[in-house]
Amino acid sequence: MNAPLPRCCVITPEPASASAADRAAFLDRLSAVLARGETLVQLRVKSLDAAAFASLAAAALARCAAAGAHLMLNGPIDAAGVMRLDGAGWHLDGTALRAAAQRPLPAARWVSAACHTQDDLLLAARAGADFVTLSPVLPTLSHPGAPALGWARFDALAAQAAMPVFALGGMTRAHLDDARRHGAYGIAGIRGFW
């Protein structure tokens, strides 16, 4: 990583649809998020096909670059696709994390990973992740019924991580100090940040 890692990571929700109007509304919302000073955004879009995701990612990357923000891609894309988007990083979901036998991008590109267990943290280290999200810390509306780690378990897992850990799941900006007291580098979220 070349630049300082921000303490907050904004994770996008899905666009309402693949329509041009919904894509434009999504990008307008991203611009508003960037205008308030956010500098780390994860484009998490699973509902689009690879071509539509690449198009949205290119537009999001242009807006992030203009604002001096970092963009992490989390969708239907591979390492080659990420490399075609100059400056973008890659957030490895569980499938991509398990498939990564080594760091999938050059050191100048950030790699992050979604982690839920100690084994995931070990896989993230093997993949050369620059940082990870560890979740869910608290109950969350986006994953109802998923057992929450709680702060004690989060703290124990974060202490074993070989890289900075972002607390994810039920987070709002008000949780940053508490998260840091429990071993988090920072916090990430959708609802409380977008």
Provide the percentage of residues in the chain whose pLDDT is more than 90: 93
Residue 105, pLDDT above cutoff 80: yes
Domain with 12 in it: 8-189
Residue 2, pLDDT above cutoff 80: no
2 lies in some domain? no
69 lies in some domain? yes
31 lies in some domain? yes
Mean per-residue pLDDT over the chain, rounded: 96
Query: What CATH number is given to the structural domain containing 114?
Result: 3.20.20.70
Residue 47, pLDDT above cutoff 80: yes
Model confidence at 66, pLDDT cuts 50, 70, 90, reads very high
Q: How many domains does the chain have?
A: 1
18 lies in some domain? yes
1 lies in some domain? no
> Looking at per-residue confidence, does 8 or 143 come out higher?
8
Residue 11, pLDDT above cutoff 80: yes
92 lies in some domain? yes
* Inter-residue contact 82 to 88 (CB < 8 Å): yes
Residue 142, pLDDT above cutoff 80: no
H or E stretch including 28?
helix 20-35
28 lies in some domain? yes
Tell me if the pTM is above 0.85: yes
- Residue identified by tokens 């709680």 is 150
152 lies in some domain? yes
Alpha-carbon gap, residue 97 to 163, rounded angstroms: 15
Sign (positive or negative) of CA dihedral 33, 89, 96, 117: negative
* Inter-residue contact 92 to 114 (CB < 8 Å): yes
Model confidence at 140, pLDDT cuts 50, 70, 90, reads confident
Q: What is the mean pLDDT of residues 69-90?
A: 97
